[in-house]
Structure 1
């Protein structure tokens, strides 16, 4: 290895998501065109080639055990996690590379591999928004940050789903070579150097398990059916035939929030869906039950660090002649 070069070992396996491998690889490769010297090595636990999640064969240089000490060890994700336990040989290869690497990073569900080997214990971490709850449940010693695009804790890095691996790789390039080079890489790849907001801006509406109690499940139906209706604490308690005290206690014990905040979260999801359909921000605020555009804007700023119009520019489905 030449002086100044930085070896990146990527541990692949059958079912690995191809973009988790290729996305960061393209960032490091583009950085090389601009003066960096990253040496990317694809390795597997056994040294045998693997098949990606889309059926493409990935050729490797050899086994993880024979890989020289890497500057960066990258653990990509795959749809098989967290559905299946981490194979013992993959866990062993992960521990070996992590012990010898200057820094350890994961993309998407690769965090489950790191978690299974204890490498995330006592650390902050993230993964794809759909499975952050599962990561926290399986590994209670890990402080999961569900809305982060990527998280750094010391020399350990974890990132959210698939394309967040590009964000993570850009951050690593900036750490190694400074903001000017990472900015040029981002420009060349036509991606954001640093995305505004967290990964919740990409999540589907009304995610998560429904409330257990019939009264709370009824509130979802009431607000969804008539978002602009009277959904004050008194109004909800009256329609559900329970006391305001009982309803407040149910929310506190089961949902860890207040009735007002829960109603607001449903309206927020409805507003996101309306924006996705092409409604104007003002129209979406009205239809979702917000008293004004400004009140909707404040919720978007708090939850996503984006304005409704900025969210719509990035994620709304293009539709013509949409009334608003």
Structure 2
């Protein structure tokens, strides 16, 4: 299905004026790299717009080489609708919606990036499905389309043959997942390495880090301690050690963290270590035991529990793409795995 006359996997990207250029570039760039690493059958990417003219992105850059949506015939492997500032006009363009509905019937799978979810919903393709979108627009999507179940937390969601993803760069996570589905984890891993990105983030990882979800704390002492924590994860970061560094009592330190972060010093440290360990586990060849030590956990077992508590997934799932042989880790050779 969708192999474009035997030439490859036909991947149609639907764009419009005001599209976010990264929503277009991330998938297309990843598929190009997959082809260069031997994707077989290769991806054949087509950009399509209502008029067949190029799309002026929200940044002002015009993406050319488009085809007219109405001219597309034959089977399609993947139909992808991008998002961006022009979504709201696109989601009310009946010509666009009609073509998206028509092409979805010819497609093995249908996907959206960011607010492109609104276009799929307006086309009636998301009724009774669980979907995601950019975290800032989840409430609006749910209110406008009550027949759609909106979960704004994950990076991407698959419901049947429909894939929806979160904001902007999650397009890369989604595309890596599609490449893995089509060609296996080894090729997806090679693509991620060439693109110098994390080996792709699990779908159910939260869209944003807890430390990015809110403005930096206004209290300078708390800001300085957070900077110290993130830069020295393997050090003694016990509440008493942090209080001594700040020159305050442990009780006063607890009050400061409760007021400015809404948590305790111990929980803030555990969160910083967990998020750093997740990034290191996906981006490096280190064993989980070595990752645990570098990020201040007592053992790999303790780290696995932290992953389960924070992300709801195991350490193995977080680094599930790391299936290639790993070089012997000197730290692991010295210290048995927990």
**What is the TM-score of this pair, normalised by structure 2?**
0.65
Give the C-alpha shift of residue 49 in structure 1: 2.1
**Alignment partner, residue 87 of structure 1:** 93
Which of these residues, 273, 285, 296, is aligned with residue 268 of structure 2? 296
**What residue ranges of structure 2 are gaps of 5+ in the alignment?**
231-236, 247-252, 281-338
How has the CA–CA distance of structure 1 residues 103 and 63 changed in structure 2, closer, same or farther, with 3 Å as cutoff?
A: same
Does the 8 A contact of 1:201 with 1:311 survive in 2?
no
Give the C-alpha shift of residue 310 in structure 1: 5.1
Give the C-alpha shift of residue 116 in structure 1: 0.7
Counterpart CA distance in 2 for 1:79 and 1:46 is 19
Superimposed CA distance per residue, residues 163-193 of structure 1 (whole angstroms, 9 cap, x where no aligned partner): 0000000000000000111011111111122
How has the CA–CA distance of structure 1 residues 279 and 86 changed in structure 2, closer, same or farther, with 3 Å as cutoff?
A: farther
How has the CA–CA distance of structure 1 residues 225 and 31 changed in structure 2, closer, same or farther, with 3 Å as cutoff?
A: closer
Does the 8 A contact of 1:31 with 1:173 survive in 2?
yes
Q: Which range moved further: 48-57 or 112-121?
A: 48-57
Give the C-alpha shift of residue 92 in structure 1: 1.4
Q: Aligned ranges for residues 26-45 of structure 1 at < 5 Å?
A: 26-36=29-39, 37-45=42-50
Does the 8 A contact of 1:275 with 1:312 survive in 2?
no
**Alignment partner, residue 215 of structure 1:** none
How has the CA–CA distance of structure 1 residues 83 and 134 changed in structure 2, closer, same or farther, with 3 Å as cutoff?
A: farther
**Alignment partner, residue 205 of structure 1:** 214
How has the CA–CA distance of structure 1 residues 107 and 276 changed in structure 2, closer, same or farther, with 3 Å as cutoff?
A: farther
SS at match of 1:182: helix
Counterpart CA distance in 1 for 2:127 and 2:5 is 35
Cα root mean square deviation, aligned: 3.1
Confirm whether residue 307 of structure 1 aligns to residue 256 of structure 2.
no
How has the CA–CA distance of structure 1 residues 134 and 84 changed in structure 2, closer, same or farther, with 3 Å as cutoff?
A: farther
Q: Aligned ranges for residues 189-200 of structure 1 at < 5 Å?
A: 189-195=195-201, 197-200=205-208
Tell me how many residue pairs correspond in the alignment: 246
Counterpart CA distance in 2 for 1:275 and 1:95 is 53
**Alignment partner, residue 60 of structure 1:** 65
**Alignment partner, residue 247 of structure 1:** none
Give the C-alpha shift of residue 99 in structure 1: 1.5
Counterpart CA distance in 2 for 1:125 and 1:53 is 24
Give the C-alpha shift of residue 87 in structure 1: 1.4
SS at match of 1:77: coil
Counterpart CA distance in 1 for 2:116 and 2:224 is 32
Counterpart CA distance in 2 for 1:276 and 1:151 is 36
How has the CA–CA distance of structure 1 residues 133 and 177 changed in structure 2, closer, same or farther, with 3 Å as cutoff?
A: same
Give the C-alpha shift of residue 74 in structure 1: 0.6
Give the C-alpha shift of residue 82 in structure 1: 4.5
**What residue ranges of structure 1 are gaps of 5+ in the alignment?**
207-223, 227-270, 314-324
Superimposed CA distance per residue, residues 52-82 of structure 1 (whole angstroms, 9 cap, x where no aligned partner): 1111112134211212331000100012334
SS at match of 2:111: strand
Does the 8 A contact of 2:76 with 2:107 survive in 1?
yes
Give the C-alpha shift of residue 147 in structure 1: 0.9
SS at match of 1:105: strand
**Alignment partner, residue 18 of structure 1:** 21
Does the 8 A contact of 2:135 with 2:153 survive in 1?
yes
Counterpart CA distance in 1 for 2:30 and 2:225 is 30
**Alignment partner, residue 266 of structure 1:** none
Counterpart CA distance in 2 for 1:97 and 1:85 is 16
Does the 8 A contact of 1:136 with 1:144 survive in 2?
yes
Which of these residues, 45, 48, 52, is aligned with residue 53 of structure 2? 48
